[in-house]
Every structure is written in structure tokens, then in C-alpha cells.
Amino acid sequence: MDIASEQSGDRTILKISGRLDGLWSDHLERQIDERLRNEQHDLVLDLAGVEFMSSAGIRVVVSSHRKLQALSGHFALRNLPGPVAQVMSMTGLLSLLTIEQTDTQTPTQEPAPAPALVPERAATPAAPTRHQTATTHFELHTLGGASMRYQLQGDPARLDGCRFTPTDCQTLPMPSHSLALGLGALGNDFNASRAFFGEFLAVAGAIACQPGNGSTGCDYLLSEGDFVAPIQSLYSIRCEGDFSHLLRFEPNDAQQSIGLTELCEQALAAVDSPLACIAICAESAGLIGAALRRSPAVQADPKAPYAHPEMRDWLSFSTERLDAGSTVVAVGLIARNANIPADLQAFVRPIGAAASPIGHLHAAPFRHRPLPKGRIDLHRTVRPLFEVGSAQGVIHLLCDDRIADRPEETRFIRGACWIGALHTGAQT
């Protein structure tokens, strides 16, 4: 991203070009804060050259608007490109921000107000059931949701050799009732995104994506108002429907934690199903996993990303548990190994050192945030973590079984796991 500054009397005009995303939003915020420290309180952002704006960029725009308001200054936007104007219109930001119309401005319309809904009287939830293992106490709540369905898109085998092309890419909207994970990027299309493809997860109308361009930062995009956040996906697992159970867990004493394998086994038992979708929000005792360092869509390479020693340039693998003490959001599909549907076989692998359970899970660590006890709502619990923009990355959770008698896996201290039994949908 480039920022060019112009002065017109007391007015400062910052002309932005490139991607205004998780990698560059902090840079723009620092530039704006520097102007404010120099008492430049009449500020305009010219967005004519912006190719894509994620929620990280939107956060900076809204934050800057509020800072200038507090200073009794003036903050405005001009020359909004079509996609940026559309997002701001659908999220309701055009009514909050000052937009200076120009001859090149893309016309926008405010979305029609949604009809008012009459809330239904909530039924009294059933009392939870409780049990414990040698290390962990569990509390199972029945949520009442019906079974969920999964849909698969793309072919994970094309990662071997980095053989992805524009025909592999689909634009997938991620509404709040969807949960998804895979390999994707935030952008307007394949060509605009091809240098940024990496691991992503989507839950509660929020998408977190680890750009495959060597960046250590994480980008994110939020559904808001009539705007449904999309992902450019090379391959993905999507689950839709309502979760049927909530499994709360905490250690029997402060020195203990629960491994991902045991948690998945407990989740499958809770819904009495060989196949389930889960969403986890928990305090981490350490994550084990991997992430792409480079996008697999830039150029085909028969040695990428698994050949040695090239894989060192392509993959980042945690050899010890990372992000202990953080609050982690993890989503995925889990199954018992027997009778796995044929269409899922390319998407799953053993979660731990044993052959079962198997699955595919992605996780994003956030700054620690304590969770309320008891029955909690997924959207109200997870969404605020994304809204403050504190996601520290996205990794594919794996078991490190290089030392046979000492396998390492992701472990949690306490938290919540939403579960839904799964049935097949369609391959797209």
C-alpha cells in the first residue's frame, strides 16, 4: 500500500492505493495519528486507488472518524471504489461517515431497513448433564438444533505441486449461520488474491485469514448489516445449520489440560454420531499446527510445498506448543475413522497419534478473554473477539508424532465446544 499526502490550506488529503488490509491498516493508522499529533484536524482519505478493504481497514476508518470527532475536527472520505462503496453501504457506514461526492464517485444507495421482528418467548432450557474423566470436568447442554449439513469445494490434492488456477477458485459468502475452513484469501477475485492465499476459518459471520505472503499478521472481514463477508476459496469445508449441543469443559485441578483428541472424542459421543461439526472457544494450553508461508496459487512447482528442503520455505510448523494462555477459536469437521464418506477422505487426517478420530480443524488465537460460565451463545461469545481485530494468525491443527512415544497435540485448559451431527450436502 502507498500513501501520498497533499496539503490544501488547513486540509490534509491522504491518497491511498493498494490493499487496505490487516498487513497495512496499522501503517495507515500510524500515519493518521502522526497528523493528529501535529494538530492536523481536517483530514480526508482519498480511496480511489484502493483495490480491496478488509475489516481491518474499516476499523481504522471508523476509529479515525471517532478520534477527529473527539477533537472537534473534520474527517471525510472521497472517491470510494465500487466494491468499497458497496461494503460501506451494506454495513450502514455511509450514514456514519462523511462522504465527499466527486465526479468519479460510485453512486451508492442506503439499504432498506429490515422489518422489525417480534421476539418469540424463549423456552426454559433443560438442565445440563455432568460427567468427568481423570483430568477434566464436562457439562453438556442441549441446544435443540437439528442436524447440520456439510458441503465441500475444491480439491486439497492440488496443493501438492501448487497446481491451483483460476478455475479452482470460488467466491463463497460466509453468513452468520455458516462455519467454514480451508485455503483462501480476502480479495475481489482470484487474480487480485493469488499472492495472498493461506489458511482461513469462518464462524459467526467473521472470517480470519492468514495471508500466504510471508506476513506474520492476520487479516479479517466481518459480515455487517446487509453485507455478507466473502472469501476467495481454493478449497473448503462448509457446515450450515444449528448446533445441537454445547459442551463446557474445565480441568479437575490447575495443573491439568485436555488434549484435542480427547475433546473430539467427547464431542462425537455427545451427539452420538460418527461425523460432527465443532466450534471451540477456549483458553489455550498451547497449539500445535502448521501454516503456509507462501501462496500456492502464484506458480506451479513440483517440489512445493512438501519436498525437502524446499518445505522450509513453504511451511511453518510449530515444534512446540504456541500461544499458551490465549483465547482460541477453532472450527472444523471431526469423525470416527470407520465408514468415513468417500468425498471427505481427501479433506481429513488423524487428529492425534492414533488412527481415530480424524478431522480437519483450523484455529485462530486471540488475546485472552475470560468466558462466562454455563450455557453461552456462539455468536455473542466469538464475534467480539474478531471485532476488536486481535486475531494473531490462523493455523491448521496437527499432531506432531515425529517422536513416537511422545506425540504432541493442541491442548486446552477450559472453554466451550459447540457440536452438531453432520450429514452430507454437495460438492461444488
Most confident of 89-93, 336-340, 374-378: 374-378
Region 142-148 average pLDDT: 86
Average pLDDT score over residue span 53-72: 85
Task: For residues 315 and 306, give the distance between their C-alpha atoms in angstroms, rounded to a whole number.
Answer: 8
Enumerate the domain spans of the chain: 2-100, 129-427
Confidence check: pLDDT of 10 > 70 = yes
376-417: pLDDT as tens digits: 999 999 999 988 767 889 999 999 877 766 789 999 999 999
Q: Which of 23-32, 99-108, 337-346, 354-363 has the lowest mean pLDDT?
A: 99-108
Q: What is the pLDDT of residue 111?
A: 45
- Encoded amino acid at 181, one letter: L
Helix or strand run (H / E) with residue 385: helix 378-387
The C-alpha atoms of residue 235 and residue 184 are separated, in whole angstroms, by 7
pLDDT at 104: 46
pLDDT of amino acid 398 = 94
User: pLDDT tier at 318 (50, 70, 90 boundaries)?
Assistant: confident
Contact criterion met (CB below 8 Å) for 25 and 211: no
Q: What percentage of the chain has pLDDT greater than the value 90?
A: 55
Instruction: Supply the DSSP symbol for 91.
Output: T
Give pLDDT, residue 311: 87
122 pLDDT higher than 80: no
Q: Whole-angstrom Cα distance, residue 211 to residue 220?
A: 10
Burial bucket for residue 113 (CB in 10 Å: 0-12, 13-18, 19+): exposed
Q: Quick one: pLDDT band at residue 120, thresholds 50, 70, 90?
A: low
Q: In CATH, what is the architecture of 2-100?
A: 2-Layer Sandwich (3.30)
Residue 403's Cβ-count burial label (10 Å; 0-12, 13-18, 19+) is exposed
pLDDT the model gives residue 145:
80
State mean pLDDT over 324-350. Answer: 92
Mean pLDDT within 193-212: 94
- For residue 95, pLDDT over 50 is answered with yes
pLDDT score at 54: 85
The answer to whether the beta carbons of residues 241 and 149 sit under 8 Å apart is yes
Q: What is the pLDDT of residues 261-311, one digit of tens each?
A: 999 999 999 999 999 999 999 999 999 999 999 999 999 999 999 998 888
pLDDT band of residue 114 (cuts 50, 70, 90) is very low
Condensed to tens digits (0 to 9), the pLDDT of residues 159-183 reads 999 999 999 999 999 999 999 999 9
pLDDT tens, 222-242?
Answer: 998 889 999 999 999 999 999
pLDDT beyond 80 at 313: yes
